[in-house]
C-alpha cells in the first residue's frame, strides 16, 4: 500500500501541506471500511458535499448533518461527529481571522460575515454585535431564537449586554426564515426604538441588518436609522 493510501503516515513524513483534500480528511478518519481505505471514504464524503454545494465540495461538507453523513457506507455516529467538529472548528478559526479585517462600519461586510450563520436558520435568530470605540468586535450574542415567523427584541436585554461588555457601538442582525429580507413594519419600529434608547444612554446603534436567502437589507442604508 502506497503512502497515498496511508494519509496519516504521509502527514507524519511530509507534513499536512503535502496532502490532498481527501487525504487530509482521510488522515483524520484514520480507518476506512470494507472495500474502501480512509482516503476513498473521505472522497465519498467530499462528493456528497459537492452535491450540496455546486461551488465547492469542501464548503458543502460544512452543511452536512449527522444523518446525511451516516448514509455513507462506513460512516457511523463517531465519524459523523468527528467531521462536524472539524467543520465547526474550521468555521470558528475562519471567523476569528476574518473579524480582524472586517469593517464593522460597513453594512455589506457585516452581512457577508454573518450570512452563512443566519441564512439557513429555519427560526428567526436575533444577533447583537458589540463593538468598542474603534468599531472592533468585542463579542456577538444571540439574543433570541423565535418561531418561523417572528421573534421579540427587548431593548432592555440589548443594552444590558452592551453595558456588561462596555460596548460603545452596537449592530443588530436577524434572519427572515422565508428568505425575503424585506423589513416588516415591526422591524422598522423596533429599530427606531432601539436607536432612540441608545442615543439616551450613549450607545449608538450603527445598523440593523436583515438576512434573507443570500441577500440582506440594511435599515441604515434605507435611512431608518
Cell (9 digits) for 163: 453595558
Q: State the Cα–Cα distance between residues 225 and 14, nearest whole angstrom.
A: 55
For residue 211, what pLDDT is reported?
92
> Are the C-beta atoms of residues 89 and 114 closer than 8 Å to each other?
no
Q: Is residue 172's pLDDT more than 90? A: yes
Print burial letters for 109-118: b (CB count within 10 Å at least 16), e (below 16).
ebbebbbebb
Residue corresponding to grid cell 449586554: 161
Using an 8 Å Cβ cutoff, are 72 and 45 in contact? yes
Residues 188, 189, 191: CA angle, nearest 5 degrees? 65
- Mean pLDDT lowest among 75-84, 139-148, 194-203: 139-148
Cell numbers that stand for 145 in this block: 431564537
pLDDT number for residue 56: 53
Other CB atoms within 10 A of residue 162 CB: 23
Decide if pLDDT at 205 tops 90.
yes
**pLDDT score, position 151:** 61
pLDDT exceeds cutoff 60 at 53: no
pLDDT value for 3: 47
With a cut of 80, say whether residue 51 has pLDDT above it: no
Domain limits, the chain: 3-97, 102-218
Q: Which of 58-62, 168-172, 212-216 has the highest mean pLDDT?
A: 168-172
**Chain-wide mean pLDDT for the chain?**
84
Q: Is it the case that residue 54 has pLDDT exceeding 70?
A: no
Alpha carbon 106 to its chain centroid, in Å, reads 18
pLDDT at 57: 59
- Give the CATH class of 102-218: alpha beta
User: With contact defined as beta carbons under 8 Å apart, do 60 and 48 qualify?
Assistant: yes
pLDDT of residue 149: 56
pLDDT at 1: 44
| Residue 27 pLDDT > 50 | yes
Instruction: Name the more confident of 38 and 5.
Output: 38
> Cα(5)–Cα(22) distance, rounded to whole angstroms?
10
**Which pLDDT score is estimated for 188?**
92
Q: How far is CA 52 from CA 44, 64, 69, 92, 203, in A?
A: 13, 8, 12, 21, 41
Residue 220, pLDDT > 70, answer: yes
- Each residue's pLDDT tens digit, 76-132: 899 889 888 888 888 777 777 666 667 777 888 888 888 878 877 888 899 999 999
CB-CB neighbours of 97 under 10 Å:
10
Amino acid at each position: 500500500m502506497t503512502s497515498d493510501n496511508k494519509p496519516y503516515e504521509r502527514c507524519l513524513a511530509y507534513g499536512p501541506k503535502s496532502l490532498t483534500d481527501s487525504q487530509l480528511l482521510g488522515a483524520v478518519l484514520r480507518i476506512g471500511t470494507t472495500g474502501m481505505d480512509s482516503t476513498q471514504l473521505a472522497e465519498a464524503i467530499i462528493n456528497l458535499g459537492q452535491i450540496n454545494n455546486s461551488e465547492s465540495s469542501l464548503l458543502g461538507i460544512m452543511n452536512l448533518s449527522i444523518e446525511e453523513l451516516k448514509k455513507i457506507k462506513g460512516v457511523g455516529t463517531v465519524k459523523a461527529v468527528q467531521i462536524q467538529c472539524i467543520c465547526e472548528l474550521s468555521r470558528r478559526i475562519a471567523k476569528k481571522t476574518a473579524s480582524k479585517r472586517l469593517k464593522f462600519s460597513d453594512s455589506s461586510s457585516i452581512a457577508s460575515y454573518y450570512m452563512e450563520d443566519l441564512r439557513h436558520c429555519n427560526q428567526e435568530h436575533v444577533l447583537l454585535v458589540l463593538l468598542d470605540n474603534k468599531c472592533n468586535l468585542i463579542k456577538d450574542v444571540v439574543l433570541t431564537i423565535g418561531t418561523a415567523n417572528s421573534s421579540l427584541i427587548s431593548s432592555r436585554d440589548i443594552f444590558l449586554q452592551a453595558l456588561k461588555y462596555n460596548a460603545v457601538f452596537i449592530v443588530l442582525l436577524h434572519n427572515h426564515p422565508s428568505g425575503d429580507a424585506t423589513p416588516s413594519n415591526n422591524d422598522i419600529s423596533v429599530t427606531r426604538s432601539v436607536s432612540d434608547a441608545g442615543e439616551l444612554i450613549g450607545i449608538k446603534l450603527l445598523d440593523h441588518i436583515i438576512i434573507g436567502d443570500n441577500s440582506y437589507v440594511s435599515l441604515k442604508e434605507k435611512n431608518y436609522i
